[in-house]
């Protein structure tokens, strides 16, 4: 009789779980009221230079160490000079003053930048406790060191960082696990302002951005951190210098759980790259065999942003990619043993995304129910697409809620009302309420800050790691809470960066039984009975 | 028109007075109200009572024809014509039935007799022209359409028919030329012309230059090249190229008669092939050029008439040719407004939506078409593939199976069904369809799909082979693109 009751109780609980409504996700747009007035000046010209349609990377990071995430926007420049000839082209740093207010501190921080900027990557590369910043741009990159006094130092040349190619995105990771963060820079293609191919319909006089096929792709560059403030270009030695693509963005995860972080690079109208870290300082591009190069139909798509996170709580990082209307936002589900399957259809993401075009994205648990949801910054690449295709240029953003590994479009209910030429997206908890907010850039328009106002009181936990043997921020650390799995990374979506810790939504749980942390330096750490609804600082043992 | 034939048959007193009056009257009412199927058994009863009565046979034939039973109607019309060989309604109905059965060659005979019996009848002549065109007898078809335009100069169907016939004549001349000598510079020049029509100027530039290598003195090609320069923003080069055209000596009209006729604007003469001997590549080239010109003139006349279904059709086809599928769909919609429910137009609209990647709209139109003709392989494929592209493979499968049931050789449906089944996790079932579709694989994507299907169903060796083939095809495509890019440079005149 007792057994029967137990079975009945379990059955009842299962039934409740199956029918429990997913906690709603709600956002409201607050950029102007919180003091953010940034406009992404892409400087569109009649000549339709390809670079004009591609900027917009954002970095969310706590540059002043006050525990509140700040926001850095990259910006365009004059064409053809590629100079920031006026303040409107400056990159902008907004300091989070608390109480959800921001102040533009660009000038005092010395980060207005130079050239036509595209992407941003924040992390503490010199392990001094202050997040530094790399800005990728068209033929011009910048590395800013953060000495912790509120003003950044441009150390590009001294550090040995090169310019000269069109870099779109970059990311920090410790590929050789020596405790020092290395830098991976993704390049798009060979381009100069002199490039003047006419693409479009000459008879109708309609000029559009050229198809990517007209641009010769470039390989990524890997900089190894020597630990003395300088970097060494090890691309050739690492075996990546000959693998040219039209790179758009990147994400890191140890997809095969061999202890070394691997790199997913999206390519525009070319197969994506999956660089498997062989653990000996070299990489092997395995996208085709692993099943991440292409969707199941075998044709390359215009892959834009990428996230490498576990959405189905099976402990394996999966890869999400944004692309253009008609292509879907591909989802490569990690089946283990180094193999991925196209999960776009099974997750319902295919039918939900097929009409959208996307750039930035974030795969985070926005309603804190224990399942990672998706936020995408939508817009087409071609501002005249409506003349040629049944697609829309300026789009509203999308929010897809995760219901046990299957997604549902809740964009309307979530308050996604603004159509724009969205590009970059970065994420952080700006007001400290445990609900992740989103910041989005748009070509020629004001940035958007979407405050997460999801109504259900779900619980959460943010871990801020402090490496001792490992890199200071614990980038690459693997964290498990129950079935949930995250890796510490700052690389986000499209050409962007989110550096504030690792977020978990835990639903109704107020006390997490165990938090398991596998540090990149090798140490394993288990925390028990951890109170939720806090930002927990964890130091590597 | 066939309703009119029926009533003219009645008016002609073909119903015999000794028929039971009530039955005859009932059949007549059913025909008048469009209930042809119900009239058929009544006429059969009447014929059983009066075997061989030509009036009743004609009426039964008309009922069968108008009910869509073409095969059944043909022997009835033929029986009538045995006793009354010049009976216009029977001749025209037989012609119409043969056309509906896609037997244009067999339609020609009765329709020629109908035209001979009533030369001023535009319906008879129009049907004869259609039949001749369908039978690829383009010269005769053009002649009939031309006469039709003299009879009914304001009828858009006449000008449309004439334009389309000349277009078919041009295409036919090109095909014959290509078969005869695929490497001919005349082939290159005609390919260049089509590239210009599609606004593919770089490709046109390449092919015109190919033609000029062997035919430096040919008239018109330098001028066409000058136009390419103008369209691509090189006015100085255009002037230089136009000067080359101007400096060409006149063609030797004894040796190059067709060229002379064409250059002089005598298109009707240029389009005519020599009566003796096989047509030379040169003669076929000028025939294609002249036929295109004559087609254009006809379609210009069509454009001068008030908007018509035919005019929108022409515009839609031009837009489709130029890969402007949204524009094509707009024109098909406009044509449909003037001819609501026209199944052919609906079919074309569905195709244009599909090509424009507007799969929701393609689906809606395909489903309308399938309502009328559920077995249509093309529309089942359009619906199925649209569902697949909308990421709903479970809805695609029934349509794709129906397409293959109607046409087992439709490899595109095999490809689409294979991918649909793979997405549904039915890899073992998907593989044979993908295997069948491999002949379509020009970029390796089907081999990739097959490799993944084999991999998922545990057949690693086959997966490896298919993946290797994918990589080979990808390399081939990349090499071809590189070559095409080299060809695509527009350079100054030499």
Q: Where does residue B414 rank: exposed (0-12), middle (13-18), buried (19+ CB within 10 A)?
A: buried
Provide the edge-to-edge strand list for the sheet that holds A422-428.
Answer: A27-29, A445-452, A437-442, A422-428
What confidence score (pLDDT) does residue B13 get? 43
How does the average pLDDT of chain A come out, rounded?
A: 94
Q: How far apart are CA B65 and CA B114, in angstroms?
A: 18
Furthest C-alpha separation in chain B: 87
pLDDT digits (tens, 9 = 90+) for A86-119: 999 999 999 999 999 999 999 999 999 999 999 9
Beta strands A182-187 and A318-321 are unpaired
A18-22, A241-245, B171-175, B443-447: least confident range: A18-22
Record the tokens describing residue A440, joined without a space.
Answer: 């989005």
Residues of A in contact with B448 (CB under 8 A): 294, 297-298
Residue B221 above 80 pLDDT? yes
When pLDDT is cut at 50, 70 and 90, the band that residue B18 belongs to is: low
Give me the total of CB pairs closer than 8 Å, taking one residue from chain A and one from chain B. Answer: 65
Q: Furthest-apart CA pair in chain A: how many Å?
A: 83
Contact A354, B390 (CB under 8 A): yes
pLDDT over 60 (residue A12): no
Whether B119 contacts B113, CB under 8 Å: no
Q: Does B456 sit within 8 Å of A354, measured CB to CB? A: no
Q: Does B358 touch chain A (CB under 8 A)?
A: yes
Q: Cβ of A202 and B199 within 8 Å?
A: yes
pLDDT at B469: 97
CB-nearest to A297 from B231, B390, B449 is B449
Pairing of strands A459-466, A478-481: unpaired
Question: What pLDDT does A10 receive?
Answer: 43
- Over residues B110-152, the pLDDT tens digits come to 999 999 999 999 999 999 999 999 999 999 999 999 999 999 9
Ordered DSSP codes for B58-115: HHHHHHHHHTT-HHHHHHHHHHHHHH-TT-HHHHHHHHHHHHHTT-HHHHHHHHHHHH
Threshold 0.95, pTM exceeds: no
What span, in angstroms and rounded, lies between the C-alpha atoms of A248 and A423? 12
Rounded Cα gap, residues A241 and A233, in angstroms: 10
B391·A351 Cβ contact <8 A: yes
What order do you get walking across the sheet with A496-499 strand by strand? A101-104, A92-98, A70-73, A58-61, A496-499, A491-492
Q: How far is A389 from chain B (nearest CA, A)?
A: 6
Q: Are B436 and B414 in contact (CB under 8 A)?
A: yes
Contact B361 A390 (CB under 8 A): yes
CB-based contact A202 B231, cutoff 8 Å? yes
CA–CA distance from A42 to each of A84, A422, A441, A443 (Å)? 11, 12, 11, 6
Q: How far apart are CA A486 and CA A462, in angstroms?
A: 11
Q: Tell me the percentage of chain A whose pLDDT exceeds 90.
A: 90
From chain A, the residues in CB contact with B326 under 8 A are 387-390
Task: Give the contacts of B32 (CB within 8 A, at least 6 positions apart).
Answer: B7
What is the nearest CA distance from B220 to chain A, expressed in angstroms?
Answer: 21
How many angstroms from the chain centroid is the CA of residue B177? 20
Residue A180: partners with Cβ closer than 8 Å, 6 or more residues away: A125, A127, A174, A225, A226, A227, A471
pLDDT score, position A199: 87
Tokens of A238: 């690492």
Instruction: Spell out which chain A residues touch chain B, with contact meaning CB-CB distance below 8 angstroms.
Output: 198, 201-203, 213, 288-289, 291, 294, 296-299, 326, 328, 341-342, 344-346, 350-351, 354, 387-390
Q: Which residues of B touch A203 (CB under 8 A)?
A: 199, 231
CB contact under 8 A, B443 and A299: yes
Decide which of B5 and A109 is more confident.
A109
The pLDDT value recorded for residue B484 is 78
At residue B489 the predicted structure's pLDDT band, cuts being 50, 70 and 90, is: confident
Mean pLDDT of A446-452: 98
- Tell me which H or E stretch contains A480: strand A478-481
- DSSP structural state of residue B278: P
What is the dihedral sign for C-alpha A524, A530, A533, A539? negative
Compute the mean pLDDT over every residue in chain B, rounded to the nearest whole number.
92
CATH class of B3-118: mainly alpha
How high is the pLDDT of residue B10? 44
Q: How far apart are CA B97 and CA B82, in angstroms?
A: 17
Q: Mind telling me how many Å the CA of A330 is from chain B's nearest CA? A: 11
The CA angle B196-B198-B204, to the nearest 5 degrees, is: 35
Of the candidates B93, B96, B90, B88, the residue with the CA atom closest to the CA atom of residue B120 = B88
Residue A283's Cβ-side half-sphere holds a number of Cα atoms within 13 Å equal to 30
Confidence of residue A2 (pLDDT cuts 50, 70, 90): very low
pLDDT band at A341 (very low <50, low <70, confident <90, very high): very high
Give the residue on A whose Cα is nearest the Cα of B441.
Answer: A298
Q: How confident is the model at residue A388 (pLDDT cuts 50, 70, 90)?
A: confident
Using an 8 Å CB-CB cutoff, list chain B residues near A201.
199
**Cβ distance of A351 and B326 shorter than 8 Å:** no
Beta bridge partners, A136, equal A119
pLDDT above 90 covers what percent of chain B? 81
| pLDDT above 70: percentage of residues in chain B | 96
The reported pLDDT for the residue numbered A197 is 80
User: Measured between alpha carbons, how far is B345 from B329 in angstroms, rounded to an integer?
Assistant: 10
Cβ density class A238-262: b for 16+ within 10 Å, e for less: bbbeebbbbbbbbbbbbbbbeebbb
Partners of A344 on chain B (C-beta within 8 Å) are: 391
Task: Calculate mean pLDDT across residues A201-216.
Answer: 85
The pLDDT tens digits of the residues spanning A354-369 come to 999 999 999 999 999 9
Q: What is the DSSP letter of A302?
A: B
**Contact status, residue A355 vs residue A325, Cβ threshold 8 Å:** yes
Model pLDDT, residue A195 = 84
- State yes or no: pLDDT of A9 exceeds 50: no
Which residue shows structure tokens 């200071």? A472
Edge-to-edge, what's the strand order for the sheet holding A373-378? A358-364, A373-378, A398-403, A406-409
Residue listed under structure tokens 């690492």: A238
Which of A46, A297, A326 is most worth mutating to test chain B (most B CB atoms within 10 A of its CB)? A297
Identify the three-state secondary structure at position A76. coil
Domain B172-303 fold is 1.25.40
Tell me the pLDDT tens digit for each residue of B270-326.
Answer: 888 777 777 899 999 999 999 999 999 999 999 999 999 999 999 999 899 888 899
pLDDT at residue B5 above 60?
Answer: no
Q: Which residues from chain A sit within 8 angstroms of residue B199, using beta carbons?
A: 201-203
Question: B374-487 adopts what CATH topology?
Answer: 1.25.40
Among A293-307, B7-21, B427-441, which stretch is predicted with the lowest mean pLDDT?
B7-21
For residue A288, the chain B residues in CB contact (below 8 A) are 467, 471
Strand partners, A101: A98
Would you call B449 and A350 a contact, using CB atoms and an 8 Å cutoff? no
Instruction: Identify the band that residue B402 occupies on the pLDDT scale cut at 50, 70 and 90.
Output: very high
Please state, in angstroms and rounded to a whole number, the distance separating the CA atoms of residues B28 and B103.
29
Token pair, residue A518, equals 């596998």
| Least confident span in A413-417, B196-200, B406-410 | B196-200
Q: Is the pLDDT of residue A21 over 90?
A: no
Of A201, A289, A296, the CB nearest to B199: A201
Tell me the backbone φ, ψ of residue B174, rounded to 5 degrees: -65, -45
Question: Which residues in chain B have their CB less than 8 angstroms from residue A351's CB?
Answer: 390-392
Place B20 in a pLDDT band, splitting at 50, 70 and 90.
Answer: low
Mean pLDDT of A283-288: 97
Q: Indicate the domain borders of chain B.
A: 3-118, 172-303, 374-487
The H or E element spanning position A16 is helix A2-19
> Cβ–Cβ of B358/A297 closer than 8 Å?
no
pLDDT tens digits, A130-166: 999 999 999 999 999 999 999 999 999 999 999 999 9
CA distance A211 to A193: 17
Instruction: Note the pLDDT of residue B21.
Output: 74
Q: Are the Cβ atoms of A298 and B449 closer than 8 angstroms?
A: yes
Spatial separation of the C-alpha atoms in residues B414 and B404, rounded to whole Å: 7
Residue B248 has pLDDT above 70, yes or no: yes
Contacts of residue A345 in chain B, CB cutoff 8 Å? 391, 393, 423
Residues contacting residue B84 through CB under 8 Å, at least 6 positions apart: B54, B90
Q: Which residue of A has its CA nearest to B324?
A: A388
pLDDT exceeds cutoff 70 at B467: yes
Note whether A389 contacts B357, CB cutoff 8 Å: yes
| CB nearest to A299's CB, from B232, B445, B481 | B445
Residues of A in contact with B349 (CB under 8 A): none
Same fold, B172-303 and B374-487: yes
Task: Check residue B278 and give its pLDDT.
Answer: 78
- The 10 Å Cβ neighbour count of residue A233 is 17
* Neighbouring C-beta atoms of residue B22, cutoff 10 Å: 9
Range name among A219-223, A509-513, B153-157, B485-489 with the lowest pLDDT average: B485-489
Q: Identify which of A203, A296, A350 has the shortest CB distance to residue B422.
A: A296
Tell me if A328 and B391 make a contact (CB, 8 A cut-off): yes
Please report the pLDDT score of residue B199 as a whole number.
Answer: 83
Q: What is the pLDDT of residues A484-508, one digit of tens each?
A: 999 999 999 999 999 889 999 999 9
> Quick check: B61 contacting A, CB < 8 Å?
no
Task: Give CA–CA dist A3/B321, Å, rounded.
Answer: 73
- Residue A145: CB atoms within 10 A of its CB come to 20
Do A288 and B392 lie within an 8 Å CB cutoff?
A: no
CA nearest to B358 within chain A: A390
Q: Which residues of B touch A341 (CB under 8 A)?
A: 456
Q: How confident is the model at residue B157 (pLDDT cuts 50, 70, 90)?
A: very high
Smallest Cβ–Cβ distance between B201 and the set A202, A344, A350 belongs to A202
The whole-number pLDDT of residue A20 equals 67
* Chain A contact probe: residue of B227, B386, B445, B479 with most A CBs at under 10 A: B445
Q: Does B320 touch chain A (CB under 8 A)?
A: no
Chain A residue numbers touching B452 (CB-CB < 8 A): 291, 296, 298, 342
| B199 inside 8 A of chain A by CB | yes
With vertex at residue B299, the alpha carbon angle to CA B293 and CA B303, rounded to the nearest 5 degrees, is 140
pLDDT above 50: residue B4: no
Closest CA to A477 of A225, A317, A226, A253: A253
Please give, one letter per residue, the 3-state secondary structure of B322-376: CCCHHHHHHHHHHHHHHCCCCHHHHHHHHHHHHHCCCHHHHHHHHHHHHHHCCCC
> By percentage, how much of chain A surpasses pLDDT 70?
96
| pLDDT tens track for A226-270 | 999 999 999 999 999 999 999 999 999 999 999 999 999 999 999
Both tokens assigned to A496: 């962007």
């Amino acid at each position: 009789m007792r057994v029967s009751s137990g079975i009945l109780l379990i059955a009842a609980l299962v039934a409740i779980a199956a029918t429990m409504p997913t906690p709603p996700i709600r956002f409201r747009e607050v950029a102007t009221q919180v003091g953010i007035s940034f406009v992404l000046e892409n400087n569109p010209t009649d000549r339709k230079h390809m670079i004009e349609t591609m900027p917009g990377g954002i970095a969310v990071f706590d540059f002043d160490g006050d525990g509140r995430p700040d926001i850095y926007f990259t910006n365009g420049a004059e064409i053809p000079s590629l100079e920031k000839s006026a303040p409107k082209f400056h990159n902008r740093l907004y300091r989070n003053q608390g109480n959800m207010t921001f102040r533009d501190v660009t000038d005092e921080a010395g980060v207005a930048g130079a050239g036509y900027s595209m992407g941003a990557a924040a992390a503490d590369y010199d392990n001094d406790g202050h997040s530094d910043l790399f800005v990728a741009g068209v033929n011009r990159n910048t590395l800013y060191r953060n000495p912790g006094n509120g003003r950044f130092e441009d150390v590009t040349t001294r550090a040995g960082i090169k310019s000269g190619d069109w870099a779109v995105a970059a990311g920090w990771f410790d590929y050789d696990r020596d405790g020092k963060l290395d830098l991976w820079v993704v390049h798009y293609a060979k381009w100069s302002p002199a490039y003047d191919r006419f693409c479009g319909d000459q008879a109708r006089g309609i000029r559009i951005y050229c198809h990517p096929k007209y641009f010769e792709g470039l390989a990524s560059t890997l900089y190894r951190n020597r630990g003395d403030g300088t970097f060494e270009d090890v691309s050739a030695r690492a075996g990546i210098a000959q693998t040219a693509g039209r790179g758009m963005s990147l994400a890191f995860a140890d997809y095969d759980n061999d202890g070394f972080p691997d790199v997913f690079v999206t390519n525009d109208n070319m197969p994506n790259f999956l660089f498997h870290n062989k653990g000996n300082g070299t990489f092997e591009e395995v996208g085709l065999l692993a099943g991440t190069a292409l969707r199941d139909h075998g044709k390359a798509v215009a892959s834009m942003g990428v996230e490498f996170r576990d959405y189905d709580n099976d402990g394996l990082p999966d890869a999400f990619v944004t692309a253009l209307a008609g292509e879907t936002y591909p989802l490569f589900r990690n089946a283990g043993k180094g193999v991925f399957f196209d999960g776009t259809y099974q997750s319902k993401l295919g039918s939900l995304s097929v009409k959208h075009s996307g750039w930035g994205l974030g795969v985070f648990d926005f309603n804190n129910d224990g399942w990672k949801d998706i936020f995408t910054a939508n817009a087409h690449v071609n501002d005249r697409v409506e003349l040629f295709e049944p697609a829309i240029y300026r789009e509203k953003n999308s929010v897809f809620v995760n219901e046990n590994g299957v997604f549902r479009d809740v964009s309307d209910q979530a308050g996604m009302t603004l159509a724009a030429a969205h590009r970059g997206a970065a994420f952080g908890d700006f007001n400290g309420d445990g609900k992740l907010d989103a910041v989005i850039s748009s070509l020629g328009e004001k940035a958007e800050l979407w405050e997460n106002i999801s109504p259900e009181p779900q619980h959460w936990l943010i871990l801020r790691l402090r490496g001792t043997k490992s890199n200071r921020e614990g980038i690459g650390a693997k964290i498990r809470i129950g079935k949930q799995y995250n890796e510490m990374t700052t690389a986000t979506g499209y050409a962007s960066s989110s550096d504030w810790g690792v977020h978990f939504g835990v639903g109704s749980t107020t006390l997490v039984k165990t938090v398991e942390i596998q540090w990149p330096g090798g140490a394993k750490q288990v925390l028990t009975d951890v109170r939720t609804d806090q930002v927990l600082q964890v130091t590597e043992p | 028109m066939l309703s009119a034939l029926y009533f003219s048959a009645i008016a002609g007193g073909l119903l015999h007075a000794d028929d039971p009056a009530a039955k005859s009257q009932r059949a007549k009412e059913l025909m008048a109200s469009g209930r042809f199927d119900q009239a058929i058994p009544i006429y059969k009863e009447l014929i059983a009572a009066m075997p061989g009565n030509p009036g009743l046979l004609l009426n039964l034939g008309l009922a069968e024809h108008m009910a869509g039973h073409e095969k059944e109607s043909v022997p009835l019309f033929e029986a009538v014509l045995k006793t009354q060989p010049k009976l216009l309604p029977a001749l025209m109905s037989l012609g119409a039935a043969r056309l509906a059965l896609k037997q244009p060659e067999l339609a020609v005979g009765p329709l020629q007799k109908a035209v001979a019996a009533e030369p001023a009848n535009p319906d008879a002549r129009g049907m004869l022209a259609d039949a001749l065109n369908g039978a690829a007898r383009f010269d005769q078809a053009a002649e009939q359409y031309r006469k039709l335009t003299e009879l009914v100069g304001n009828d858009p169907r006449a000008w449309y028919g004439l334009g389309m016939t000349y277009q078919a004549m041009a295409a036919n001349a090109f095909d014959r030329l290509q078969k005869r000598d695929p490497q001919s510079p005349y082939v290159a020049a005609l390919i260049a012309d089509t590239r210009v029509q599609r606004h593919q100027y770089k490709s046109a530039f390449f092919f015109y230059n190919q033609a000029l290598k062997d035919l430096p003195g040919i008239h018109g090609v330098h001028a066409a090249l000058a136009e390419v320069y103008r369209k691509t923003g090189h006015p100085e080069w255009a002037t230089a190229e136009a000067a080359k055209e101007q400096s060409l000596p006149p063609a030797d009209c004894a040796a190059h008669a067709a060229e002379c006729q064409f250059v002089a604007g005598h298109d009707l003469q240029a389009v005519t092939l020599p009566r003796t001997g096989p047509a030379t590549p040169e003669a076929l080239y000028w025939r294609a050029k002249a036929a295109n010109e004559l087609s254009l003139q006809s379609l210009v006349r069509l454009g001068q008439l008030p908007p018509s279904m035919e005019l929108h059709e022409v515009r839609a086809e031009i837009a489709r040719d130029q890969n402007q599928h949204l524009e094509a769909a707009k024109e098909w919609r406009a044509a449909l407004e003037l001819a609501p429910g026209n199944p052919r137009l609906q079919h074309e609209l569905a195709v244009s939506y599909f090509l424009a990647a507007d799969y929701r709209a393609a689906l809606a139109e395909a489903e309308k078409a399938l309502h009328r003709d559920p077995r249509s392989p093309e529309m089942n494929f359009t619906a199925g593939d649209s569902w697949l592209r909308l990421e709903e493979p479970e809805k695609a499968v029934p349509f794709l199976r129906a397409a293959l049931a109607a046409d087992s050789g439709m490899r595109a449906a095999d490809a689409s069904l294979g991918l649909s089944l793979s997405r549904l996790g039915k890899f073992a079932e998907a593989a044979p369809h993908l295997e069948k579709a491999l002949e379509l694989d020009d970029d390796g994507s089907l081999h990739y799909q097959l490799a993944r299907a084999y991999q998922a169903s545990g057949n690693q060796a086959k997966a490896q082979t298919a993946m290797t083939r994918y990589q080979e095809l990808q390399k081939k495509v990349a090499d071809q693109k590189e070559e095409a890019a080299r060809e695509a440079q527009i350079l100054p005149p030499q």
